[in-house]
Structure 1
């Protein structure tokens, strides 16, 4: 029995029930601010990942569509039998190995192409409008474009072949530039996140400096103290990253839904022409998930390294400086 009437077993039982207090406060203003910053950074990074995926997929689709077709343009000229010239080009193309089909763009289709600029009811016989032959090629065994172009010009001097190589080159360059810009933005976001976590960790250590020093000098290992900070910041990083990533995915879902629901409007048509259905696909969703996990891990690792370095710096101080 003790002087308060408590037995030793009861004291030991009470001691077991006492839960240790975390070195890092579970919730404070600085923690909420860091969570908000991480959420904003993840939101911006997720938008970047989704945009890069969207543009890359769209550019690949454009490249595939362009590489499946080539066109022959026949320019009108005095005394030229346009119908006969178009048929000559069509027959020549069909006789070329690697060509799957050759279709003459008729007056109605040509009028629809020119309608946005010249209006309806065009009389193509009165306008010097070039006519087109659309040639579908075998992607696995394409024809020799140079030989085909020379044959077309020999048969119809007013004709010229366009294999769209300039467009394909521009699309590839645009996709590569987009990827490089996205990588640069992601790198800046990661660097900003690391710096934010470093300052937040130092601030938390400063606010609990006396507790940390007492624990450290009575024998608590640096790994134990660093693990406490790591656990705290891992939770903050994951919560903030999940919130930011979810908001970014919601933006893509809402824009995609709006595009599908307003397909008849000019705005939606322009988005469809540029980005298709505005769906980032499983690659984009997977990239956002990987990004969320990476930011959570980066936050925890950065906090642990910062704490370890700060404790090493404390060990190097003299008793007076402490």
Structure 2
């Protein structure tokens, strides 16, 4: 019968001469785990990108509230629209805290209405409200109630819209979306950890005879756990890099599509809601950090799982003496 200590010495000699991992590197379970990690990383990266996009958009919306308001002049019988636009512009510029005022010209107004009314609009024949864009000093904003009364007194058909009501609802919705995205990201990470736990236990079951012999003849738990840790770290990094690279390609494709379709009315509506609809550098940096995190998390999870399983083996083994 083979001496167990001789077997351990033989194993260590082979490990020093040419590393022989306890876990086979190319088994089916390993390839399946790599695929699962790649998919999880891809989904987590997409979620992270969406969260950063929505958060940046919400910040832009809040900033636009402080920078700009709109005066709308409703068409009325006998109203000289050109004179009304000029009078409103002159009135708002006289209010402290207003830094600029510009009337939306016919081309810009027609572009706004193009998705609903088509091209080639003649605004002189349509009762279309006209807009004056008012720039606000963010550090010293005006008294909006005073501004609203001054506009109404100058042109009774004019009304001030500071966009606060609907933008506040959009910002609240954006914040809720961010929280949901973070929750989904957490669930994906938990699912990844559980997958690694089951994969580690499966690998230990498949190599249980080798692990028990090495463990009982004196191999430290750290040595066996290190073998699994290196194996799953490699799998985790390869899978995470694959999933992260796919997410990068999706981000770049979306950004390219947005830039290529900027001249269309549909793109104008998308830009009004999501800006350039491009992931910021925070999204790319977060995805890269996520790749490293998943690789390290995979390795640590496998090590903890192996250590706990070896402790369970020690408890079930007969006590010497």
Q: TM-score, normalised by structure 2?
A: 0.85
Paired position in structure 2 for 1:195: 194
Provide the rounded CA distance (Å) in 2 between the counterparts of 1:132 and 1:273: 17
Q: Is 100-109 or 303-312 further displaced after alignment?
A: 100-109
Count residues with an aligned counterpart. Answer: 307
**Unaligned stretches of 5+ in structure 1?**
1-13
The 8 Å contact of residues 67 and 164 in structure 1, kept in 2 or not, is answered as no
The 8 Å contact of residues 42 and 295 in structure 1, kept in 2 or not, is answered as yes
Residues 145-175 of structure 1 show CA distances to partners (whole Å, capped at 9, x for unaligned) of 1221122223333321101112321332232
Q: Is 152-161 or 239-248 further displaced after alignment?
A: 152-161
Residues 69-110 of structure 1 show CA distances to partners (whole Å, capped at 9, x for unaligned) of 211122234554544443332222011111111223344543
The 8 Å contact of residues 111 and 265 in structure 2, kept in 1 or not, is answered as no
Paired position in structure 1 for 2:140: 141
**Unaligned stretches of 5+ in structure 2?**
1-12
Provide the rounded CA distance (Å) in 1 between the counterparts of 2:266 and 2:119: 22
Paired position in structure 1 for 2:249: 250
The 8 Å contact of residues 102 and 134 in structure 2, kept in 1 or not, is answered as yes
CA-atom RMSD, angstroms?
A: 2.7
Matches within 5 A, 1:104-143: 104-119=103-118, 122=121, 124=123, 126-143=125-142
Matches within 5 A, 1:259-278: 259-264=258-263, 272=271, 274-278=273-277
Residues 47-73 of structure 1 show CA distances to partners (whole Å, capped at 9, x for unaligned) of 111222223323433443454221112
Q: TM-score, normalised by structure 1?
A: 0.85
Once the two structures are TM-superposed, the CA of residue 119 in structure 1 deviates from its matched residue by 4.3
Paired position in structure 2 for 1:304: 303
Once the two structures are TM-superposed, the CA of residue 313 in structure 1 deviates from its matched residue by 1.0
Which structure would you say has the larger Rg?
1
1:60–1:210: structure 2 CA closer, same or farther, 3 Å change rule? same
Provide the rounded CA distance (Å) in 2 between the counterparts of 1:120 and 1:25: 66
Paired position in structure 1 for 2:100: 101
Matches within 5 A, 1:217-232: 217-232=216-231
The 8 Å contact of residues 70 and 136 in structure 1, kept in 2 or not, is answered as yes
Paired position in structure 2 for 1:5: none
